[in-house]
């Protein structure tokens, strides 16, 4: 098990990094794995799932979705360092939206005003 934030390695049966407090993952997925799939396949549709203003939430969200193999990107993530008042927006591939919603529903997220959005038309 590996911490997605500090990259520390843990033995089996550990689930949380003792230094960072984030969930451990089986493997670290590189940035290139999260390139916007619509640039490669125009038929792939991403939907907005939630918004947050907490950097620690983003680390937790990434760890959970990476471990589950959910394809996503976080719009505005890098801007949070410059303008922390703007929310970062999680977008997931439409076919994984319900799976991601279930995975994140019970996550320990700091930002209590997390907005779970249903895809348009629901």
Interatomic CA distance for residues 5 and 32, integer angstroms: 17
Report the number of secondary-structure helices (H) and strands (E) in the chain: 2, 3
Does residue 2 belong to any structural domain of this protein? Answer: no
Half-sphere exposure (CA, 13 Å, Cβ side) for 99?
Answer: 14
Does residue 17 belong to any structural domain of this protein? Answer: no
pLDDT, one tens digit for every residue, the chain (122 residues) = 888 777 788 888 888 888 877 788 877 655 444 444 445 566 778 888 888 888 888 889 999 999 999 989 888 877 766 666 678 888 999 999 999 988 988 888 776 444 554 555 54
Q: Which domain holds residue 45?
A: 36-105
Does residue 58 belong to any structural domain of this protein? Answer: yes
Can you tell me whether residue 70 is helix, strand or coil?
Answer: coil
CATH number at residue 98: 3.30.70.790
Q: Is the pTM of this model over 0.85?
A: no
């Amino acid at each position: 098990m590996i911490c997605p934030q500090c990259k520390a390695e843990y033995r089996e049966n550990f689930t949380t990094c003792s230094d960072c407090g984030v969930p451990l993952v089986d493997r670290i997925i590189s940035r290139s794995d999260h390139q916007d799939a619509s640039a490669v396949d125009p038929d792939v549709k991403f939907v907005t799932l939630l918004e947050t203003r907490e950097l620690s939430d983003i680390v937790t969200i990434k760890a959970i979705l990476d471990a589950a193999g959910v394809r996503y990107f976080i719009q505005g993530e890098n801007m949070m360092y410059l303008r922390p008042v703007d929310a970062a927006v999680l977008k997931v591939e439409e076919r994984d939206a319900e799976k991601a919603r279930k995975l994140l529903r019970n996550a320990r997220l700091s930002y209590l005003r997390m907005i779970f959005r249903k895809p348009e038309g629901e």
